[in-house]
Amino acid sequence: MKISVVTPSFNQGKYILEAIESVNVQNYCSFEHIIQDNCSVDATRHIIKQYSHLWVATEEDEGQSDALNRGFKKATGDIIGWLNADDKYLPGCFKAVVNFFIKNPQCDVLYGDYRIIDNKSKLIKLRKEIPFDLFILKYLHVLCIPSTATFFRRRIFEEGNFLDKRYHYAMDYEFFLRLALKGYCFAHIPAFLADFRVHDASKSSQFEIVQRQEREQALLELDKSWHDLRSPWKPFIRGSLLFAARFKRTILKLIGSCYF
């Protein structure tokens, strides 16, 4: 099975080398790495020129979601991964992902565990996730599916599913929720697949409040059950569901002996 990796890039010259090398060290025989670079003006261009195997598209885009969509449309692999330029895969990732997809043909979206690292690649925390749960995905304020450790079957995009360009900080949440509500099959593999980097310039660090607001917006747009609720009841019901989702996740993590 061929794997396509799509990396959106904009002035991430400080980290993109590690992202590229993390793909190369997989030693996987059939892959392509697509870099969607939004005309970076830092060291990015110099770095990516050193790698002849990369499929580089240097063009202006309308943001990260648009860049990813362009890359997804170019991808020719049976399995497609989303790797941001400041994140990286762990050794053995591709082998674990391919083996799982082969053994589970019904699976459309696969996500694994991940590690949180800092700007110097120092380990901060291990994050083991739980099996997919639609209730938790819908109502918890924390996204339990890490995009950097997520892989999609090609049919997801062949059937016209792409990121919503209106979302700049919670595009992953909106996309996963939309796919889940459409009935696509999600699965979790209990293996560390990638490193998620936390640094001062990352979206997750700078725009946490806006990200949470976009998640709420996505939930209200996609979950039709909210449309008929009268406004006075919405905050109470939303708060109750948030508490229930948080409690359920806590129990599932304790049962699975996972790290918070």
Residue 54 has pLDDT above 60, yes or no: yes
Q: What is the spatial distance between Cα 12 and Cα 45, in angstroms, rounded to a whole number?
A: 10
Q: What is the pLDDT of residues 219-248, one digit of tens each?
A: 888 887 776 666 777 778 888 988 899 899
Matching residue, tokens 């599913």: 161
Question: Which pLDDT score is estimated for 134?
Answer: 93
User: What average pLDDT does the chain have?
Assistant: 90
Q: Global pTM?
A: 0.90
Give 175's contacts (C-beta < 8 A, 6+ positions apart): 161, 163, 164
Q: What is the spatial distance between Cα 30 and Cα 97, in angstroms, rounded to a whole number?
A: 13
Q: What is the spatial distance between Cα 246 and Cα 55, in angstroms, rounded to a whole number?
A: 41
Furthest C-alpha separation in the chain = 59
User: Hey, what amino acid is at 28?
Assistant: Y
Residue 260 has pLDDT above 50, yes or no: no
Residue 140 has pLDDT above 80, yes or no: yes
Matching residue, tokens 């992902």: 97
Q: What is the spatial distance between Cα 260 and Cα 257, in angstroms, rounded to a whole number?
A: 10
Question: Which pLDDT score is estimated for 23?
Answer: 97
List phi, psi (to 5°) of 127: -125, 105
29 DSSP 8-state letter: S
Mean pLDDT, residues 246-257: 83
H helix count then E strand count, the chain: 10, 9
Q: How confident is the model at residue 175 (pLDDT cuts 50, 70, 90)?
A: very high
Q: What is the pLDDT of residues 95-136, one digit of tens each?
A: 999 999 999 999 999 999 999 999 899 999 999 999 999 999
Of 2.30.110.10, 2.40.50.140, 3.90.550.10, 3.90.1150.10, which CATH number belongs to 3-255?
3.90.550.10
**DSSP state string for 53-116:** T-EEEE---SSHHHHHHHHHHH--SSEEEE--TT-EEPTTHHHHHHHHHHH-TT-SEEEEEEEE
Q: What are the extents of the domains in the chain?
A: 3-255
